[in-house]
Amino acid sequence: MLAHIWSHFDYWAMIFLAMAGLFIVIARGNLIKKLVGLGIFQTSVYLLYVAPGKIVGGTAPIVAEGFRVYSNPLPHVLILTAIVVGVATLALGLALVVRIREAYDSIEEDEILRRDQAPDGGGEA
């Protein structure tokens, strides 16, 4: 049982990080904090991909004389793409937050919803 916990700990850490990110996204009202939570969810997926490719005693997948065991290079390629796309979505999300702040003078979800439901209509957008 203890050996099982030890050898599956990386999966569980990844699940914990993903769920913590999801919790921040749905439970916290501040839009910047929501985006940080989304980023944590995203980075937890890197672990899900890269951790199973590791072989203890192996080395980074750069072929050279004297090494025979390499970790799996394919997850690394996929995750390199994911990191760059992740920062692109983060930048777009932050631009939207800045626009929301211009229109509503707040980046708290509750405040924005309250102004949307006000009869005179808050915000210029």
Partner 1 sequence: METLIVNVLLTLMMLAVVVLARTRNLFSVIVLSGLYSFLMATVMVALDAVDVAMTEAAVGAGISTVLLLGALHLCRSEEAKPAHKPWLPLAVTASAGLLLVYGTWDLPAFSDPEAPIHKHVAPRYLEAGPSETGVPNVVTAVLASYRGFDTLGETTVVFTAGAGIVALLRRRRRKTADKEAP
Interface residues for partner 1 in 26-55 (CB under 8 A)?
26-30, 32-33, 35-37, 39-40, 43, 46-47, 50-55
Q: Does 123 bind partner 1 (CB under 8 A)?
A: no
Among 15, 113, 116, 118, binds partner 1 (CB under 8 A): 15
Q: Structure tokens of 91?
A: 């930048």
CB of 5 to partner 1, least distance (A): 10
CB of 44 to partner 1, least distance (A): 9
Radius of gyration from C-alpha coordinates of the chain: 21
Residue 122's SS3 state is coil
Query: Could you tell me the CA-to-CA distances from 5 to 10, 12, 43, 50, 121 in Å, in that order?
Result: 9, 9, 22, 19, 54
50-109: which residues touch partner 1 (CB under 8 A)? 50-64, 70-77, 79-81, 83-92, 94-99, 101-102, 106-108
Identify any residues that bridge with 30 across adjacent strands, giving them in sequence order: 108
